[in-house]
Amino acid sequence: MTGQATQRVRIRLPARLIRRMRGTGSPAPTHAVATLASVPTISYGPDVPTEADLRLCGDIAGKRVIELGAGASANAAAFAALGAKAILVDPRPEAAAATRQAAEAAEVRVEIHQNDLADLGFATSGSVDLVVSAGSLTGVDDLARVFRQVHRVLRPNAPFVFSLPHPIAAMLEGGQLVIRKPYWAAGSRTVGALFTALSRANFQVDVILEPQSTTAKDSMVPSALVMRARKLGL
């Protein structure tokens, strides 16, 4: 047997596409089978497996989803293409412009707020189904404040999924197997510190992933830390 079998996934079609199909008189299924190449990609950062592999967000069609800080892959546009009510929060004008361009190219709508990552006042308490941040929390000074605001806007038991550079990779600087700085060095987020901050904000961590680089297969340490935490309480 030669070649590689195409991986297929069953996805829920966005409501706007179902309405469009019904308008033509064609049968309008609510689900379809598609190749992964045809499904918009939700990224957790360079060299990190995507949502297609990690499956942390679940079905987001019809849900209200916030991208907290724009990553290089314009996740907010991908959320919208998958049928979500997508929102971007990022203070940088260039990030807002890039997301608008990606949304226009995909013919979808993304609500954009040029705010600090902890400034989620536009969202009422318990009104959001999912918050995702791909590498954008690295430079945040008051991480506890961000976590508290994310907890406030999420619905009970809704997930907060985020990725950061792995603290072990940060110690090595450039991938060389020589420790260049302490694990607790300024600028690094340790696993313990993240877990404690999430717990104090009333989250329960249910997934911690340390995936191997998708490009450097000979790497000896994970390049990223990916966590999922669910909101406890109201």
- Name residue, tokens 């064609």: 26
Residue 16 confidence (pLDDT): 53
Residues 30 and 59 in one domain: no
Residue 4 confidence (pLDDT): 35
Looking at mean pLDDT, say which of 69-73, 137-141, 206-210 comes out highest.
206-210
Mean pLDDT, all residues of the chain: 83
List the structure tokens of 65: 């989803």
> What percent of the chain stands above pLDDT 90?
62
Residue 153 confidence (pLDDT): 98
Structural domain span for residue 160: 40-231
Residues 45 and 20 in one domain: no
List the structure tokens of 25: 């008189």
Residues 123 and 208 in one domain: yes
Residues 18 and 47 in one domain: no
pTM for this one? 0.81
Residues 86 and 29 in one domain: no
DSSP conformation class of 48: S
Residues 215 and 179 in one domain: yes
- Sheet containing 224-231, strands listed edge to edge, beginning at the edge strand earlier in sequence: 110-113, 85-89, 64-68, 130-134, 159-165, 224-231, 203-209
Residues 128 and 217 in one domain: yes
CA 97 to each of CA 79, 112, 133, 227: distance values in angstroms, whole numbers, following the listed order: 17, 10, 18, 28
Q: What is the pLDDT of residues 179-217, one digit of tens each?
A: 767 777 766 788 999 999 999 999 999 999 999 888 877
Residue 173 confidence (pLDDT): 63
Q: What is the pLDDT of residues 142-164, one digit of tens each?
A: 999 999 999 999 999 999 999 99
Residues 74 and 130 in one domain: yes
Q: How far apart are CA 97 and CA 167, in angstroms?
A: 31
Residues 79 and 186 in one domain: yes
Residues 84 and 116 in one domain: yes
Who contacts 196 (Cβ-Cβ below 8 Å, separation ≥6)? none
Could you tell me the CATH number of the domain that includes residue 106? 3.40.50.150
Total tally of structural domains belonging to the chain:
2
Residues 6 and 86 in one domain: no
- Name residue, tokens 């450039």: 174
Residue 232 confidence (pLDDT): 96
Q: How many whole angstroms from its chain centre is CA 202?
A: 20
